[in-house]
Structure 1
Amino acid sequence: MPDSFNQGNKPKMFRKKSQAHQPIHELIHGVKSGNRRDLAKAITLIESNSQEHFQRGQELLKELTPHTGNSIRIGITGVPGAGKSTFIETFGESLCEQGYKVAVLAVDPSSTVTGGSILGDKTRMENLSRNPNAFVRPSPSGGVLGGVHRKTRETMLLCEAAGYDVILVETVGVGQSEVIVRGMVDFFMLLVITGAGDELQGMKKGIMELADLIVVNKADGDNLPAAEKTRREYKGILHFLQPATKGWETQAVTCSALHGKGIGDIWEAIADFQTATKESGVFSARRKSQTKEWLHSMIADRILNSFFHDPDIKRNFPDIEAEVISGRKTASQAVERLMELYKK
C-alpha cells in the first residue's frame, strides 16, 4: 500500500504530534521531491481544523504555490452503475504507463468522512493505489461544502507541487458536488451507460451542461451496439445544450474500462481540449476565474465561521431564532438584531 495509506494506521495522538513538530521546511522539501509520505502529512495538515495546524498549513502552501499550476485538472462524475471506480483505475493506470504521475482525489460533500472512507477509496482502486506513479486520497469535508471547496483545492495544489501531472477529482456525492468540482477543474467528464432515455429522466439537464466529454462506459460484448446507440443519442442531445467550455464542442464517446478499450481516445480528446483552450486563452481565463471564486468562497466561509463562533451570537441566537419561529419577529428583524450584536 502507498505511504499515504500507512498514515491512517498510526494512533491519532502520534499523527497529531508528528504534524505539529515536523519542521515546515522538511515537509516542503519532501513534497517538492515527490515523497508520498510527506505529501500525505502535508495534506493532513491543511485538512486539520486546528488553528495551529491551519496557520502551519497556510505557511506550507505559501512556499509551495510557486511550484503549482502545471497539471491538467480533470473532474469525473457518473450516473449510478456507470463503473466510475473501474474507469478511474483503468484510466489512471494507462496514464501511469505513459509516464505521467496521477493523483486521484475523491470528493463527498454529503459525507462526514471517517477513516473508513480512505479504506473504501483505496480498496476500490487497489492496483492504482500500489502504482508508484499514483496517489489516491479522499478529500474530507466534515459535512461542509465550503470545506470541500478549500481543502480539495489546497490538496490539488500540494499534489501539483509534488510533481503530479494529472489530477483526477472524483465526485462521490450527488447534486452540488458536481457544481463544486466543475468550479475547480479544467475539464469535466460525465460517465454514463446504455439507456440514455431512462437515465436522462433522472438526470438534471444542468449536470450534462457541465460536461466537456460524455463517456458511455461498458461498451463491450453484447452491449457494444447498445452503447454506440446511446453515444449517438447523447451526441444528438448535446446539439441543443450550451457548451460547457467556450470554443469547445462537447463530445460523446464510448469505452470499456473493464477491457481498456477507448481509453486512449479519451486522453486524446483531453489533449485536444488542452491545446484548443490554451491557444484561445480560455484555459488561463477559467483558472483565473476559479481562483477569484475561491477567494470569494473563502471570505464567505471565514465570515460565517466567525459569526457563529461569536460569544454574543452563540448566547442570543437560540432566543432570537425562537422569536422568528413563533412569529414574534420577522426574519429580517432577527438578522438586523444579530448583526448589531456581531458588530459589537
Structure 2
Amino acid sequence: MTDREKEDLKRTEGGVPPHDGMSAGPRKRFVKKRRPVPAAELAQEIRSGSRLALAKGITLLESRSPEDRKAAQELLIGLLPDSGNSVRIGITGVPGAGKSTFIESFGLMLAEAGHKVAVLAIDPSSTVTGGSILGDKTRMEELSRHPNAFIRPSPSSGTLGGVHRKTRETMLLCEAAGYDVILIETVGVGQSETAVRGMADFFLLLVLTGAGDELQGVKKGIMELADGIIVHKADGDNIIPAKRTAREYKQFLHMLQPATPGWQTTVHPVSSLAGTGLEDVWETIQGFRENMTGTGEWDRRRRDQLKAWFRQSIEDWLIDSFYASEGRKKEVERLEGKILDGRLTVTAAVEELFRG
C-alpha cells in the first residue's frame, strides 16, 4: 500500500473523504448516521438491567419522530409481559415541603435494603420558552449514584397537569428493567396531583407543621386523593409540633371521604435529615398493598390506571391531529381575531370552527 493509500484510509476512517486529485481546499466531514438499535435487542438489554439501555428506551418513547414512535411501540409490546410488578407511588406536596429531600432519603433506604428504585421526576416546562429545569439529579446526587437507583427527569412539555405524556410508558420500561419501586414526583401545582393519582397505586402528600394554618392552605380535594400524609421536617425543635400536626390531620381526615375504599389515610411525622419515620412509611405502603390485594382493590386500581391512560391518549391524539393541519392553525388564528375584536363569542367561534 502506497503512502497516499495509507493516508486515504486514515482519512476515510476519520470521516474525511480521501484525496481525489482536486484542489486541497477545506474538506467536509462525512458523519456516519448512527444505526438505531433494533427494538428486540434494546428490549433484551433493558431486561438485563442496563441503565444505559433503559435511558435509550425512554428517549425513544419521548421522540416525536414517526419512525421512533413505531420503534417505541414495538419495544413496549415486547416488554409488556415483564412489566407491572412494582409498587407505583405518587408523591406531591405543598411548596417547601421538601419532596426531593424526602425522595432521596426514602429511595436510599429502599435501595440499601435491596430494592430497585426508579424516580420519575416531572419538571415544569416553561410556557414561554418550552424549557425546563431538569435539576433532579443535582438535587438527588447521592441517590443518583446508587447502583440500585435510576432517576429520570422528564419535562412536562406543557401537558395537562404537568405530567409528561410518556410517564406511564416509562414506568413500564422501568418495571421491565427490574425496578420494583417507582416514585413519581409531581410539580405540585394545578391538576398534576389528579393526573399522577391516576397512574399511582399509593399516593403520598407531604405537608409541614402548623396544621391550623396548613389545613387552610391544603385543598380538601388534594387531601381526599391521599392514601398517606407525611408531616415532613419533623426534626430538632420541630419534633413536638410535627407530632401535634399529625394528630390534627388524623382528626380532620375522619371527616373526609377516604381516597381508597376500605383504607383509612395514614399520617406519619417524618424527618428525611434524621431518617426517622421513613420505615413507618414503607411499612404502611406494604400493608396497603397486602390489604388491597386481598380485597381486589389493587387489581381494580390497575385496571382504572389503564383506562385513564387510554382515554388520556385519545385526547392527546385528537389534539395533535387537530393542530397538525396548517389550515386549521390559520383558521384558529382568524377566529381568535374575531373574538378579540368582539365580533364573535367563544362558543360561536368553536361551533364555526367545527362546522367547517
What TM-score results when the alignment is normalised by the length of structure 1?
Answer: 0.89
Match of 1:261 in 2: 276
Match of 1:208 in 2: 223
Match of 2:158 in 1: 143
Moved more, 32-41 or 175-184: 175-184
Match of 1:117 in 2: 133
Moved more, 101-110 or 143-152: 143-152
Answer yes or no: is the 8 Å Cα contact 1:149–1:180 preserved in 2: no
Give 1:222-233 correspondences, 5 Å limit: 222-233=237-248
Matched, 1:78 2:90: no
Letter in 2 for 1:163: G
Moved more, 205-214 or 143-152: 143-152
CA offset at residue 267 of structure 1?
0.5
CA offset at residue 49 of structure 1?
1.8
CA offset at residue 88 of structure 1?
0.8
Give 1:58-69 correspondences, 5 Å limit: 58-69=73-84
Letter in 2 for 1:214: I
Greater gyration radius: 2
Letter in 2 for 1:293: A
Answer yes or no: is the 8 Å Cα contact 1:149–1:294 preserved in 2: no
More helix by share: 1
CA offset at residue 34 of structure 1?
0.8
Match of 1:240 in 2: 255
**Deviation string for 1:42-75 (max 9, x for gaps)?**
0011011222222211111111112110000001
- Equivalenced residues, count: 324
Q: SS of the counterpart of 1:242? A: coil
Match of 2:40 in 1: 25
Measure the CA separation in 1 of the matches of 2:161 and 2:56: 22
Give 1:1-344 correspondences, 5 Å limit: 18=34, 21-109=36-124, 111=126, 117-118=133-134, 120-145=135-160, 148=163, 150-341=165-356
Distance 1:284 1:49, change over 3 A: same
Q: SS of the counterpart of 1:194? A: coil
Answer yes or no: is the 8 Å Cα contact 2:122–2:184 preserved in 1: yes
Measure the CA separation in 2 of the matches of 1:228 and 1:332: 52
CA offset at residue 142 of structure 1?
1.4
Distance 1:321 1:24, change over 3 A: same
Q: SS of the counterpart of 2:165? A: helix
Match of 1:10 in 2: none
Measure the CA separation in 1 of the matches of 2:259 and 2:326: 44
Answer yes or no: is the 8 Å Cα contact 2:163–2:186 preserved in 1: no
CA offset at residue 114 of structure 1?
7.7
Measure the CA separation in 2 of the matches of 1:115 and 1:23: 30
User: Which runs of 5 or more residues in structure 1 are unaligned?
Assistant: 1-16
Aligned identity (percent) is 60
Distance 1:321 1:40, change over 3 A: same
Distance 1:185 1:130, change over 3 A: same
CA offset at residue 339 of structure 1?
2.0
CA offset at residue 104 of structure 1?
0.4
Match of 1:9 in 2: none
Measure the CA separation in 2 of the matches of 1:89 and 1:209: 26
CA offset at residue 87 of structure 1?
1.1
Match of 1:14 in 2: none
**Deviation string for 1:25-44 (max 9, x for gaps)?**
22111111110000001001
Distance 1:63 1:111, change over 3 A: farther
Distance 1:83 1:329, change over 3 A: closer
What TM-score results when the alignment is normalised by the length of structure 2?
Answer: 0.86
CA offset at residue 109 of structure 1?
4.6
Measure the CA separation in 1 of the matches of 2:256 and 2:175: 33
CA offset at residue 253 of structure 1?
1.0
Q: SS of the counterpart of 1:104? A: strand
Distance 1:39 1:131, change over 3 A: same
Q: SS of the counterpart of 1:66? A: helix
Distance 1:320 1:279, change over 3 A: same
**Deviation string for 1:130-158 (max 9, x for gaps)?**
00000011122212228835311111111
